[in-house]
Amino acid sequence: MNLAHKLNHPIFKAISAEAERLNEEAFVIGGFVRDLLLGRVDKDIDIVCIGSGIELAESVAKSLKVKKVSVFENFKTAMFRYQDMEIEFVGARKESYRYDSRKPIVEDGSLEDDQNRRDFTINAMALSLNPKNYGELIDPFDGLSDLEAKILRTPLNPDITFSDDPLRMMRGIRFATELGFKIEPSALKAIKRNSERINIVSMERVMVEFNRILSAKVPSVGLKLLFDTQLLHQFLPEMSNLVGIEERNGVRHKDNFYHTLKVIDNVATMSNDLWLRWGALMHDIAKPETKRFHPDAGWTFHGHEDRGAQMVPGIFKRLKLPLDNKMKYVQKLVLLHLRPIALTKEEATDSALRRLLFEAGEDVDDLMILCKADITSKNEAKVQRYLENYEKVKIRLGEVEQKDHIRYWQPPIDGAEIMKTFGIKPGPEIGQIKNAIKEAILEGEIPNEYNAAYQYMLGKAKEIGLKLPA
């Protein structure tokens, strides 16, 4: 097969010309070739050459008038950006690995050596950029057939492939999730056999792949594969611990792992926000810890939202995820995820709605998405009833917000004004008055307005014995 007609971008012509001038051979390889055959756009281009990748990169950059080339001497690679593309150059190499490290011992090699070290056959295909056979597909492992059959297969023995670089196991599951491919059975078994090897990979690299799985159109595909291969058990045991149904006295609870997968998939149909999906993933994370059986009430998970919110920072820290507002956002979603559902079961008061708006703040819309996604009962009548009530709560929230402006609530009167009004220094009285004003607004005793809050402040100050202004 020859794909010269698809390699008409100036970058490929420049690489071809400079490789010939340097008496080297050059090939585009890997994901770009795979995506070209799938009709997908890929802006990352990997070039392998028989010779010095650094020298070729600098020569091509000069011919294209690209000023900045990033050189990585330790890895013998170089990279530059051209237009909206990122092009990386490396000399063909063969690799060997120590058991305790995924960093290879690298030697110069042939194109065949370079293709042997690739993770999957669909990523081992190369296209020649040499004048004698420009555009020719070089496919020693029949990756094209695997691409057409939507199969992920390793070029060599899968145990060797995955043990050498365990991150390839995460990549395989990510490809399966993003592309809708099946992992070839022997490779899938090899992932399970080698699952503990993922522990030699940095958590940051594991999370890059995991977040891409979580960002897929149907995340549950990858999450289920991670569980089945026991990779999930290695880095997120809290989630794998959700699996299982226990029965006592003929009473069973739902499988919280598969419920969580359904919730994440539901969220994915409504939002692409990665951290909202993390909120879905973590919303029931504390159910194993809080599970209790009561002869009269059956299975309960009281307080799992509070305990789950407490678990979020520790999990994020261990997984090397951001500990900034993203973590706090996920923590808030976990803490509040039952609140909207509770409001759908009864006639919600304005006070309850104001409190939800106050506590959720600017994240209330995302919280409502999570609430809707969390409705996964197999009882269609029950689901329909919840969804109808959910829509009513959404409408009521909008009405209360329009009237009371609580979502982005700022106290109408701050501590500085309280001190100035009563001529007092910082102390507990200020907090008492501020909290009293907040509670009065949330309970609907006074409107969320300055004048009403000021008069209420005077009354509260008199109660606690402060001297009123003249």
Q: What pLDDT score was predicted for residue 464?
A: 85
pLDDT at 205 over 90: yes
Q: Are 243 and 227 in contact (CB under 8 A)?
A: yes
Q: Are 450 and 413 in contact (CB under 8 A)?
A: yes
Higher pLDDT, 276 or 377: 276
Q: Is 129 helix (H, G, I), strand (E, B) or coil?
A: coil
Amino acid, single-letter form, for residue 419: M
Q: Is 44 helix (H, G, I), strand (E, B) or coil?
A: strand
pLDDT at 196 over 60: yes
Closest CA to 305 of 278, 332, 329, 271: 332
pLDDT at 106 over 60: no
Reported as a single tens digit per residue, the pLDDT across 285-303 is 999 999 888 887 887 888 8
The CA dihedral of 213, 215, 220, 224, to the nearest 10 degrees, is 20
Element of type H or E holding 90:
strand 85-91
Reported as a single tens digit per residue, the pLDDT across 394-430 is 888 888 888 777 777 677 888 888 888 888 888 888 8
Q: What pLDDT score was predicted for residue 94?
A: 62
Second CATH level (architecture) for the domain 4-149? 2-Layer Sandwich (3.30)
Percentage of the chain beyond pLDDT 70 is: 96
In the chain, % helix, strand, coil (3-state, to 5) comes to: 55, 10, 30
Taking residue 439's Cβ as centre, other Cβ atoms within 10 Å add up to 12
Average pLDDT over residues 118-146: 94
* Domain positions in the chain: 4-149, 415-463
Place of tokens 């400079």: 18
Question: Rounded to two decimals, what is the model's pTM?
Answer: 0.84
Q: What is the mean pLDDT of the chain?
A: 89
**Spatial separation of the C-alpha atoms in residues 209 and 224, rounded to whole Å:** 15
Q: What pLDDT score was predicted for residue 468?
A: 81
**At 221, is the pLDDT very low, low, confident or very high (cuts 50, 70, 90)?**
very high
The two structure tokens encoding residue 235:
């880095």
pLDDT at 384 over 60: yes
Average pLDDT over residues 144-169: 94
Q: What pLDDT score was predicted for residue 40?
A: 87
Average pLDDT over residues 367-395: 83
Percentage of the chain beyond pLDDT 90 is: 55
pLDDT at 146 over 90: yes
Specify the length of the chain in residues: 470
pLDDT at 152 over 60: yes
Reported as a single tens digit per residue, the pLDDT across 418-470 is 888 888 888 888 888 888 888 888 888 888 888 888 888 888 888 888 888 86
Q: Are 303 and 289 in contact (CB under 8 A)?
A: no
CB-based contacts of 451, cutoff 8 Å, min separation 6? none
**At 95, is the pLDDT very low, low, confident or very high (cuts 50, 70, 90)?**
low
pLDDT at 64 over 70: yes
Higher pLDDT, 67 or 107: 67
